[in-house]
Amino acid sequence: MKQGFGDTFKKKLEAFNALKQNLPKLLGTEAKNNFQDNFTKQGFEGDKWTEVQRRIEGTNAYKYPKTTGLGRRTKAILSGTGKLKKDIQVKTTSFGKTIVGTSSLTSKYATFHNEGEDNIPQRQFIGRSKNLEKKLKHIINTELKKLFK
């Protein structure tokens, strides 16, 4: 039996309401993954982070390490315990707003590195990003195309 306009409209409306619930979560997850990936890339928006002293030959941190072993010279910047990277989370989602950030446990530490403070060079890992905006627009377009099939 052929569906009438009312049935089709009702299904599209239900799909739209589901999209309003799911899309912010999809976008938040994409943003979270993107920001966590900056730790792997050791940079933000294609700009590499300032090198750490422990990896620069001739510096005291390179010559006189606090710990032994050469692994410290090859270890990634901001890798430490991994708490900061793991702490990036989708904090709130709604149809008009999605917030991604860190918990209060690491927020001061995150601010120091993300903005650069107290003799700590800026190593931004979270914030507005053209690359992320492209990814988010692609997700939105893909989900809208599914809705209007």
- Global pTM exceeds 0.85: no
Q: How many other C-beta atoms can be found within 10 angstroms of the C-beta atom of residue 139?
A: 15
Model pLDDT, residue 103: 87
pLDDT in tens, 63-120: 766 666 666 667 777 776 788 999 999 999 998 899 999 987 788 889 999 999 888 8
Domain boundaries, the chain: 5-47+77-147
What residue has token string 């377009």? Answer: 141
Specify whether the CB–CB gap between 80 and 71 falls below 8 A.
no
Residue 19 and residue 134: Cα distance in Å, rounded? Answer: 19
The 8-class DSSP code of residue 53 comes to G
Backbone φ, ψ for residue 42 (5° rounding): 55, 45
Q: Any residues with CB less than 8 A from the CB of 66 and at least 6 apart, and which?
A: none
Q: How far apart are the first and last CA of the chain?
A: 20
